[in-house]
Amino acid sequence: CGWVIIFRIGLTYATKYLLAGFPSEWQALISGSLELTNGCTLLQKIHDRTICFIMVSVLLAFGGLCVTMQTNSVTNSAGMKISGYLIAKVCQAIIAGSLASILAVPIYHIQKTSAVFLLAAGVVSILAYRFLIVRFLQNYTGNKVTVVV
């Protein structure tokens, strides 16, 4: 909870003063990379729905540094390193962005509501995690990874 407050206050300042001159896409990407909720909120300003779909897929897959810090708070006490987790999340975001780029046009043409659009982005993120990152983690850690989705 403390991390959320820290990131929320920092992003409020950053959005108002540091990111004000950036295009909407960059504001959403930077904010979402730090704290997911703020980044997803800023996606409303993007008019190109294809770009928005790709960005929401990437942001959902990565989760933001705020989530990473929360995860670190839990895993650090168990003696686990956060580096493998962070590498896996970056890879997941890259894979989700790649899958979303391939699927963006067909999904954009069949979508009727923004709920379908966001659901499709979530599915892309889950597919990237489930089928590709689990294998990476198994190779990186040498342990069998079990995922419940």
> What does the pLDDT look like over 99-117, one tens digit per residue?
888 877 666 655 555 656 6
**pLDDT tier at 5, thresholds 50, 70, 90:** confident
Start-end of H helices in the chain: 2-13, 24-34, 36-42, 49-62, 65-77, 83-110, 114-127, 134-141
Q: For position 114, what pLDDT does the model report?
A: 60
Model confidence, pTM: 0.69
Nearest-10 Cα torsion for 107, 43, 85, 135: 10
pLDDT of residue 38: 79
pLDDT of the residue at 29: 86
User: Do 64 and 101 form a contact (C-beta atoms < 8 A)?
Assistant: no
